[in-house]
């Protein structure tokens, strides 16, 4: 049997106390922390390793800006490695800029182990992390218990590849959605859900809501065919519905 290895997380933060706290938390949930303090050697460091996730602070004091590091990571490591911003800055403009540069998620600084385990478990796999996440939930007797979570969202555009959404909630990249509603019923002629994955997200400057683009499952060609037919006679601007 192959030996399971622990995931590697690169943490960039200029606060020694937070560094130590995060190091303790990451180790406790089965993640190997690599704390980078020499920003001048940052590019050389990340070229020589393959981390499963980057945890980036935005305000790095004398070390510079976390925004620059996000851009560098995307250039050096490509679009798929997760980048989670952990910052004390809650301003919407900072959130928006980090997402635009390629961050996957944005959370306010915390050392709450359960919260971090829940967040990081979306991107990482480790036995300790899985056990901690599982401890937050109770097994349902008899197997799975299906639950549907609904929230208000505005679909502003539809094309053959996916839909553009506006929401009060930040929809993290990689999140899966089952989209339903009256307009989708009109398009498909059925009550079936449209399965999609969030591939982009941002903050709307006008009203502070979060925008996202969700791509339909590529193998489901029938959805794209139905939307193409619908678009021939309809404008892509549609009314507010609920997911």
Higher local confidence (pLDDT), 117 or 52: 52
Question: What's the pLDDT score for residue 2?
Answer: 42
Q: Where are the domains of the chain?
A: 8-135, 152-242
Report the distance separating Cα 14 and Cα 47, nearest Å.
Answer: 21
Helices and strands per DSSP (H, E), number in the chain? 8, 11
pLDDT digit string, tens, across residues 140-165: 455 554 545 566 778 888 887 888 88
Question: What's the pLDDT score for residue 236?
Answer: 43
Q: Are 109 and 55 in contact (CB under 8 A)?
A: no
Q: Minimum mean pLDDT among 48-52, 64-68, 185-189: which range?
A: 185-189
Question: What's the pLDDT score for residue 130?
Answer: 60
Q: Name which of 23, 215, 31, 11 is nearest 123 in CA terms.
A: 31
For the domain with range 8-135, which CATH number is right: 3.60.15.10, 3.30.460.20, 3.40.50.2300, 3.40.50.620?
Answer: 3.40.50.2300
Q: Which residues are bridge partners to 53 per DSSP?
A: 9
Tell me which H or E stretch contains 84: strand 83-87
Both structure tokens of 210: 């979060």
Question: What's the pLDDT score for residue 84?
Answer: 93
Question: What's the pLDDT score for residue 1?
Answer: 36
Q: How confident is the model at residue 30 (pLDDT cuts 50, 70, 90)?
A: confident
DSSP code, position 36 = E
Average pLDDT over residues 60-89: 87
* Whether the predicted pLDDT of 13 surpasses 80: yes
Q: Does domain 152-242 have CATH number 3.40.50.150?
A: no
Q: Name which of 82, 106, 74, 102 is nearest 92 in CA terms.
A: 106
Residue 141 phi/psi, 5-degree rounding, is -60, 135
Question: What's the pLDDT score for residue 107?
Answer: 87
Report the distance separating Cα 209 and Cα 170, nearest Å.
Answer: 8
* Whether the predicted pLDDT of 137 surpasses 70: no
Report the distance separating Cα 230 and Cα 150, nearest Å.
Answer: 25
Question: What's the pLDDT score for residue 150?
Answer: 64
């Amino acid at each position: 049997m192959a030996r399971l290895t622990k995931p590697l997380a690169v943490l960039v933060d200029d606060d020694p106390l937070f560094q130590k706290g995060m190091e303790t938390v990451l180790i406790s949930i089965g993640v190997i922390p690599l704390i980078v303090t020499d920003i001048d050697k940052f590019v050389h460091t990340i070229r020589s390793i393959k981390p499963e996730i980057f945890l980036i602070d935005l305000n790095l004091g004398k070390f510079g800006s976390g925004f620059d590091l996000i851009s560098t990571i995307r250039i050096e490591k490509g679009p798929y490695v997760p980048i989670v911003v952990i910052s004390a800055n809650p301003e919407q403009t900072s959130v928006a800029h980090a997402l635009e540069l390629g961050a996957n998620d944005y959370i306010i600084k915390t050392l709450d182990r359960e919260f971090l385990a829940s967040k990081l478990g979306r991107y990482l796999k480790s036995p300790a992390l899985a056990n901690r996440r599982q401890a937050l939930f109770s097994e349902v007797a008899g197997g799975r218990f299906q639950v549907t979570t609904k929230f208000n969202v505005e679909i502003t555009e539809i094309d053959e590849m996916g839909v553009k959404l506006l929401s009060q909630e930040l929809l993290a990249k990689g999140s899966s959605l089952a989209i339903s509603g009256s307009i989708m019923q009109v398009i498909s002629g059925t009550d079936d859900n449209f399965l999609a994955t969030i591939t982009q997200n941002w903050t709307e400057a006008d009203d502070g809501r979060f925008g996202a683009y969700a791509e339909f499952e590529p193998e489901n060609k029938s959805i794209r065919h139905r939307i193409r037919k619908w678009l021939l006679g309809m404008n892509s601007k549609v009314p507010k519905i609920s997911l």
